[in-house]
Amino acid sequence: MQRNENTSKAIEHIDVRVFAHATENQQSVETAVKNIFPEEIAQSIIFKETKLAGHHSNPIVLVSAKIDNKKLLPAALERFGENLNALDKEQLNQEIELHLERSNLFLRFDKQAAFLQTLKFSTDDPIHIKIHFKNKTAQKITDLIKLFGLIP
């Protein structure tokens, strides 16, 4: 399978969610999110804020965005594939079934590393990414992300 116009149309949209805790600067959290995407996508992200309260009533802001410019979406996968290290790619490959559900691929990126312009996976207070593929089976999604270099 080669990358072509059909692989570009395979991605429906990308949802982003991240928590900005009371101890964090919300603009820094938004910068971290933008840093994981190519510039042309980062510039177009419009964040939505939802104010929440933490366990001890501390303020938390859920920062979310939906990226749906279909022409730009493949560039996000290319960036992920180019910037993830070999260990993260291998881990994703071995645990792929844990990251796939109903035409969606779920990824969690390290928020602190993203702020420093490094892409790596993390489960501790991560940036949540949900990539929605249009009517694709788990195998087709796996084939596509292999094409984009997210898995070996």
* pLDDT, position 142: 96
CA angle 14, 104, 74 (to 5 degrees): 45
How deeply is 124 buried, as exposed, middle or buried, from its count of CB atoms within 10 A (0-12, 13-18, 19+)? exposed
Q: How far apart are CA 147 and CA 72, in angstroms?
A: 16
pLDDT by residue (tens digit) across 84-116? 999 999 999 999 999 999 999 999 999 999 999
Note the pTM of the prediction, 2 decimals: 0.93
**Ramachandran angles phi, psi of 105, nearest 5°:** -115, 125
* pLDDT, position 54: 83
**Ramachandran angles phi, psi of 13, nearest 5°:** -170, 170
**Ramachandran angles phi, psi of 66, nearest 5°:** -120, 125
CATH class of the region 5-147: alpha beta
Q: Residue 62: what residue type?
A: L
Which residues lie below 8 Å from residue 144, measured CB to CB, with a gap of 6+?
1, 7, 10, 77, 133, 136
* pLDDT, position 122: 96
* pLDDT, position 7: 61
- pLDDT tens string, the chain, 152 residues long: the values are 445 555 667 899 999 999 999 999 999 999 999 999 999 999 999 999 999 988 888 899 999 999 999 899 999 999 999 999 999 999 999 999 999 999 999 999 999 999 999 999 999 999 999 999 998 999 999 999 999 999 99
Instruction: Measure CA 72 to chain center.
Output: 14
Nearest Cα neighbor of 83 from 16, 147, 150, 24 is: 150
